[in-house]
Amino acid sequence: MRCRVRKFGSLLLIILLYALSLVSADPLSFEQKKIAVGGRVTGCLAARLVPAFWFTSRDRYLYRYREGDEAPVRCRLPDRAASSPVEGAEGKIYLLLEDGRLFAATPGCIGAWFFQNPKGFLSPMAGEGDGTLYLAGKGGGLFAVAHTGRLRWSLQLPSQPRSGPVLVRTKTGERLIVVSCEGRRSYAYGTDGVLRWTFLSAGEVLFPKSDGRRLFLPTDAGTITAVDDSGVLIWEHQLPALAADCAVDVKRGLLFIADRLGNVTCLDATSGTAVWEFPAGRAIFSLVVLPDSHPAEREKEAALAICAEAGGIVFTDEAGRVLNRISTPAPAAPLSTDGRGLLLFGGSDWLFRLYRFSSGSSASQDAEDEGEPKPLFSIKEPPFDFHYLQSIASSADRNGQVAALAEIQDRLESGKPDRGSSYLPILLHYFASAAIDSPIREGGALRNDFPTLRITAVRMLARYGHPSASRVLSRLIRYEWDPSVRIAAYHALRTLLDDPEGDARAAVRDRLSSMVNSRKDEQEVSAASDALFYLAAYHGGLEEKDLELLLAVAYGPFGRETRSSVLDTLRQGGKRRLY
């Protein structure tokens, strides 16, 4: 009986110790977790109202990741995101799409509604406490959109806006929507759409910022101006160079400005006097103010994160002293912080990283680790969705095809093991011959006729190669109607010199024969003659019909340059005894 009691007591003690370890563990239990998304980073958001990490990529999905999730939840977008996600009232997530629509998603990552402006919107968006969104349209309009997606009101601005609106609260509690427009003027409207005041700045406003009570206007004249809630100038400060980014620290009463020479200037937001300057020495991509989570240890806490265009993040305190530096790849999206001591970074290497930057929030760590930014998880981009890109290749979406070709080239050139897979050149085949294999006609016109994109795909095929590339190029030479694409195919065949089935040589010969008889484009005749000669030279020598064709060009009704080029080619063939 005593033995059983001892065993039961030991088991109870083990369970109690395990429970205590769970209570004392770091709540972020997803360290080093890798999460797959489907495209290059375009934007990220560390949401605060409903804590979650949101991000967008080139694969037309909006992703949400929360602590405890096995994998990110994703929501299909009708088009690619044109802005980073923005958190609104009730935890809703908003973002602008490339087709000009405003997209809203619930905190559960479910599409809620769209709002369409044919000419599109400018970022950023400004959100009201009741859920109303204010957006500046590219056509010169200002829109107030309710949280349900219904238009509350719209108006035409006096001139074209230069960026999205910002919100300022007056001393009486009224909200003002301020839009900076061309002509150096900023206009303040009430939530009813009525103009309250205008302000003329020293130059064109680059990107307005607000701390909720004051308006800060960096201009292309190299100044930054502070304006109060009634449109009256408070102060003006001359910067060393044009501003590249600006961040407002409301709690500390500071304003951080990064200029294009790589300097960060900290100003007192009330008086405009310089507090300190930090020479970063490199072009700066973005700034983000870090939350003041431990006022008692403020001198030990990071107040600002500075992200360089070439990569790397510097953490400084409120006095401008460098607390830490970390190495990162070049950024692809502005930094975002969730207010809980975490910083979200989206890199150009197609990875998301989450860093802990506050030393006070990691008291349980070893002494040597305190203050070190901790990479908690990364989100890695997997291989392409083959069928999705195949559908893009056969669509009439020119922008989609441009982006897809850029993605393929980026993968092929990156050197990463998963990016040189054989299916990537196969996708190039679809893009090169899309108009032939999958023509889209509307009213008699071909809607997916993009010769420059087909030329790009052909040149990429020539550069990266594939066993079936010659067959694809042969079909282009036979059936492609644009001479510039056929010329690119001739040059590609000269580069590849791969003709296992002999069809490429026959295709060039047939096309050249038709051009000799019809006396068509000399540039194409010259390119086809060179391709035929090189193909023959590397595949058994010139046959009698090849020689007859080349002689017909050399002594035919073509320009001197074309004839001389072919004759020189034939002389080289004679020296090498190719015929």
Q: In this structure, are 520 and 557 located in the same domain?
A: yes
How is residue 257 written in tokens?
């400005």
- The answer as to whether 102 is a domain residue is yes
Q: In this structure, are 449 and 377 located in the same domain?
A: no
- Structurally, the chain folds into a number of domains equal to 3
Identify the CATH number of the domain in which residue 479 sits. Answer: 1.25.10
What is the C-alpha to C-alpha distance for residues 525 and 230, in angstroms, rounded to an integer?
A: 71
> Does an H or E element contain 425, and which?
helix 423-432
Nearest to 566 by CA among 519, 533, 517: 533
Q: In this structure, are 418 and 377 located in the same domain?
A: no
Give 243-311 as a DSSP string.
EEEEEEETTTTEEEEEETTSEEEEEETTT--EEEEEE--S-EEEEEEPP---GGGGGGS--EEEEETTS
DSSP state of 237: E
Nearest to 220 by CA among 200, 203, 237, 241: 203
pLDDT at 242 over 80: yes
- The answer as to whether 134 is a domain residue is no
- The answer as to whether 333 is a domain residue is yes
Q: In this structure, are 438 and 315 located in the same domain?
A: no
What confidence tens digit (pLDDT) does each residue in 364-399 have?
333 334 444 444 444 444 444 566 666 677 776 676
- 241-250, 512-521, 549-558: which is most confident: 241-250
Calculate the average pLDDT of the chain.
75
- The answer as to whether 94 is a domain residue is yes
Pairing of strands 342-346, 336-337: antiparallel
Q: In this structure, are 300 and 433 located in the same domain?
A: no
**Confidence tier at 498 by pLDDT (50, 70, 90):** low
Among residues 116, 145, 162, the one where a domain terminates is 116
Among residues 93, 116, 139, the one where a domain terminates is 116
Q: In this structure, are 409 and 326 located in the same domain?
A: no
Nearest to 213 by CA among 143, 180, 166: 166
Q: In this structure, are 421 and 378 located in the same domain?
A: no
Domain that holds residue 422: 386-575
Identify the CATH number of the domain in which residue 301 sits. Answer: 2.130.10.10
β-sheet with 86-87: strand ranges across? 86-87, 93-96, 101-105, 111-116
The answer for residues whose C-beta is within 8 angstroms of residue 129's C-beta and 6 or more apart is 89
Q: In this structure, are 303 and 285 located in the same domain?
A: yes
The answer for residues whose C-beta is within 8 angstroms of residue 195's C-beta and 6 or more apart is 187, 188, 189
pLDDT at 104 over 60: yes
**47 versus 501: which is more confidently predicted?**
47
pLDDT at 90 over 70: yes
Point out which residues pair with 313 in neighbouring strands.
307, 326
* Cβ proximity of 167 and 173 under 8 Å: no
**Confidence tier at 416 by pLDDT (50, 70, 90):** very low
Q: In this structure, are 429 and 374 located in the same domain?
A: no
How is residue 159 written in tokens?
């001139």
- The answer as to whether 23 is a domain residue is no
Please report the pLDDT score of residue 443 as a whole number: 65
What is the C-alpha to C-alpha distance for residues 187 and 433, in angstroms, rounded to an integer?
A: 51
Q: In this structure, are 375 and 325 located in the same domain?
A: yes
Nearest to 253 by CA among 238, 239, 266, 240: 266
- The answer as to whether 135 is a domain residue is no
- The answer as to whether 340 is a domain residue is yes
Q: In this structure, are 62 and 98 located in the same domain?
A: yes
Point out which residues pair with 436 in neighbouring strands.
none
What confidence tens digit (pLDDT) does each residue in 324-333 have?
888 877 887 8
Among residues 116, 136, 151, the one where a domain terminates is 116
- The answer as to whether 321 is a domain residue is yes
* Cβ proximity of 248 and 210 under 8 Å: yes
Q: In this structure, are 454 and 375 located in the same domain?
A: no
